[in-house]
Amino acid sequence: MSFLMLSAADVALLLDASGPGLPRVRHFGAAPGTDDGAELLPLLASLVPAPPLLPAQGDGWYGRPGLAGSRDGEHWPVRWTTAGVDVSAEPGRGGTVTVTAADERAGLALVSEVAMDAHGVVTLRHTVTNTAASAYRLAGLVCALPVPARADELLDFTGRWALEKVPQRRAFGHGVWSRENRRGRTGHDATGLLVAGGAGFGFRSGEVWAVHAGWSGDHVHYAERLQEGAALLGAGELPEPGEIVLRQGESYRTPLVYFTWSAEGLDGASARLHDHLRAARPLPVRPVTLNNWEATYFDHGLDRLLELAGRAAAAGVERFVLDDGWFRHRRDDRAGLGDWYVDEGVWPAGLHPLAKRVRELGMQFGLWFEPEMVNPDSDLARAHPDWVLGHAGRLPPPHRNQQTLDLARPEVYAYLLERIDALIGEYALDYLKWDHNRDIAEPVHDGVSGVHAQTLAAYRLLDELRARHPGLEIESCSSGGARVDYGVLARTDRVWASDSNDALDRQAIQRWTGLLVPPERMGAHVGAPRDHITGRSLPLAFRAGTALFGHMGVEWDLTSASEAELEELAVWIALHKRLRPVLHAGRVVRADHPDPSALLHGVVLPERAVFGYAQLASRPESAPAPLRLPGLDPAARYEVRVAGPVPGSALMPWWASEPVRLPGAALAELGLPAPALQPASVVVIELERV
């Protein structure tokens, strides 16, 4: 078979396997309207040059090579010969293509695995094996797919601690636009999703292509356009020199790289990725979670925590998580990290009194860990200084008073597995908050860079704990959103999008993180009235209305809250629980709202929908723009009503006084008259099909 096509959900990937080299990717994007891709071959072959599955100069590709490496200074350009192509596919249902190839002169063998799921998401990975007697030093192996000339604009993301996922756009011109991460973890400034599309594409309009590397260590995302007209998006791991050396018979396999396409703007691409993640690992109902960190910090007085738990349960919280400070010597962030034993001085009866009371109140119990890190001022570091990831005899630059443990050392891995496993068993933990609070500097393992081995060891540890405790849930927190990727999400149940609970910043952070992460996997907490990071004071209705649209939680000292505040919080939590079947299962939609001072977004199911209209700043016009609600069935009629508390200062339109029934087409095209809101206000709108 010389022509292969994977297709599903109006997406197609067309491969020209006429050989003798690797199959060439002739098209990735909209389905071409035929199940017989072979009839398109003459047309496609006459269009823009098509790169092979793994671009190489020997195939006439003069851009960034898919594979880079050498043998003791010798460089043999690779020219693959395909040995076999295995196809398992059904038109319209996706499938897989596995290509085996080799270059005997270069002493390398290759397996390329391409898969398309039922939602049109393509995953690609390569495995290269050294078949020669001499060692092969792999410098890079990436996955890439082509995009057409009309994709002439790029969107990616940057950010910092407490302000992640800041978008940035640029023209997609000639050359390479590369985002490289060498922080040892995904990073606050990681792009997450690199998008190419037609100029001006938005959430609801335009054709877009996107790529994401499912890897939690050093990585690269890039876009490249050659003078010959070919262009592509690619991603993969970013190894340091000497980090990956393949002896004869040894292999290296790339992380999975995810590609998506949409003719319906960013929302269409995002929906495919959400559907892919949901299908890969469905989750149970997401419990409303209280984390005590910003409530008590290192103050672990039992009476105070019991009172906090009582107030949380009364407000409707379903899970209580005890954060940093419960283990030996941990009275601040300068000592104790790595000593994973309950501090007998603070907890003479262990954590049992708190865990018992939490469960009596009907809540689950969870615990914070930072397994990959250690304080130099700890029993562990004093007993095992050689366990630190770094040069022997020289500590890496310190940060946050901590260093990184070398998880790839068997004795380090065994210690962490035993300690965490024992604590899960002793306290029947329902939940782990798994933190990772620093970038990794000078990560030397056995004389070479250790990020690759460190990342795989962290994955193994997560996998083993889940295998031993099938009901356990794990949150990936990395000083906020510094480890948000599909590599860690394959092993965890949610991510902490940011350490900032400031609802104004959170509106944007959650909006853009949500391109990759569906709401039920994105932690979103109601913080204190005055935010602990920005110092900004915001009303409870705005804080709760922002957290409503994620995996809702609370990070606020409820012992300091008034009875009126507790009652209002309980109303919002009850609303979240009632709307949870929609919020955590529907399609996320984001309006391209014309007012830059406001955001309009929602979650839509065939029978129900929930929208949030948030006023972030003062309006540039005297009257707010109409609310055009995207994603609804234009042929259906909907009952529209306000859900949840309304800001006292809001001027509400006529439709808010009682439910009204309107056609989906009218709601999408004409819209609703918008409430007139003050800055830092939100109104929740509920729709039900009638």
Give the residue extent of every domain in the chain: 3-280, 289-481+533-581, 591-689
Q: Please report how many Cα atoms fall inside a 13 Å half-sphere around the Cα of residue 684, on the Cβ side.
A: 23
607 in Cβ contact with 658 (< 8 Å): no
Give residue 431's identity as a one-letter amino acid code. Answer: Y
Say what the pLDDT of residue 186 is.
Answer: 98
| CATH number of this structure's domain 3-280, picked from the four choices 2.70.98.60, 3.40.50.300, 3.20.20.105, 3.40.190.10 | 2.70.98.60
638 in Cβ contact with 598 (< 8 Å): no
Q: Encode burial over 489-518: b for 16+ CB neighbours within 10 A, e otherwise.
A: bbbbbbbbbbbbbbbbbbbbbbbbbbbbbb
CA 540 to CA 527: how far, in whole Å?
9
If you average pLDDT over every residue of the chain, what do you get?
96
pLDDT above 70 as % of the chain: 100
> Partners of 259 in the beta sheet?
122, 211
- In the predicted model, is pLDDT for residue 76 greater than 80? no
Say what the pLDDT of residue 37 is.
Answer: 67
Q: Rounded to 10 degrees, what is the CA torsion of 183, 184, 188, 194?
A: 90
Task: For 589-639, write each residue's pLDDT tens digit.
Answer: 999 999 999 999 999 999 999 999 999 999 988 899 999 999 999 999 999
- In the predicted model, is pLDDT for residue 576 greater than 90? yes
Task: For 20-59, write each residue's pLDDT tens digit.
Answer: 899 999 999 999 987 776 777 778 777 777 899 999 988 8
Q: What is the mean pLDDT of residues 494-506?
A: 98
Structure tokens at 273: 């990725």
113, 88, 90, 112: which is closest to 102 by C-alpha?
112
- In the predicted model, is pLDDT for residue 509 greater than 70? yes
Residue 91's SS3 state is coil
Q: What is the mean pLDDT of residues 258-276?
A: 98
Say what the pLDDT of residue 152 is.
Answer: 97
- In the predicted model, is pLDDT for residue 1 greater than 60? no
| CATH number of this structure's domain 289-481+533-581, picked from the four choices 3.20.20.70, 3.40.50.720, 3.40.50.10860, 3.40.80.10 | 3.20.20.70
* Residue 113 host element (H or E): strand 108-116
Strand order in the sheet with 587-590: 587-590, 598-604, 608-615, 681-689, 637-643, 660-663
Say what the pLDDT of residue 33 is.
Answer: 84
Say what the pLDDT of residue 270 is.
Answer: 98
- Asked if the peptide bond before residue 51 counts as cis, ω within 30 degrees of 0, the response is no
CA 592 to CA 563: how far, in whole Å?
39
CA 230 to CA 273: how far, in whole Å?
26
Q: What is the mean pLDDT of residues 109-137?
A: 97
Query: By CB neighbour count within 10 A (0-12 exposed, 13-18 middle, 19+ buried), where does 483 fall?
Result: buried
pLDDT above 90 as % of the chain: 92
- Fold category of 591-689 in CATH: Immunoglobulin-like (2.60.40)
- In the predicted model, is pLDDT for residue 552 greater than 90? yes
CA 326 to CA 328: how far, in whole Å?
7
Task: For 209-237, write each residue's pLDDT tens digit.
Answer: 999 999 999 999 999 999 999 999 999 99
Query: For the chain, how are helix, strand and coil distributed in percent, rounded to 5?
Result: 25, 35, 45
- In the predicted model, is pLDDT for residue 373 greater than 70? yes
The number of angstroms, rounded, from the C-alpha of 391 to the middle of its chain's C-alpha atoms is 32
Q: Which of 17-21, 244-248, 261-265 has the lowest average pLDDT?
A: 17-21
Task: For 91-122, write each residue's pLDDT tens digit.
Answer: 999 999 999 999 999 999 999 999 999 999 99
Q: What is the mean pLDDT of residues 128-156?
A: 97
CA 659 to CA 284: how far, in whole Å?
32
List, by residue number, the catalytic residues.
435, 499
Provide the whole-model pTM: 0.97
* Owner of token pair 């790339």: 254
638, 595, 594, 590: which is closest to 611 by C-alpha?
590
Domain pair 289-481+533-581 / 591-689, same fold:
no
- In the predicted model, is pLDDT for residue 150 greater than 90? yes
Say what the pLDDT of residue 35 is.
Answer: 73
Say what the pLDDT of residue 43 is.
Answer: 80
CA 87 to CA 196: how far, in whole Å?
29
Q: How far is CA 427 from CA 78, 284, 351, 356, 420, in A?
A: 55, 21, 8, 9, 11
CA 250 to CA 552: how far, in whole Å?
45
DSSP structural state of residue 422 = H
- In the predicted model, is pLDDT for residue 19 greater than 90? no
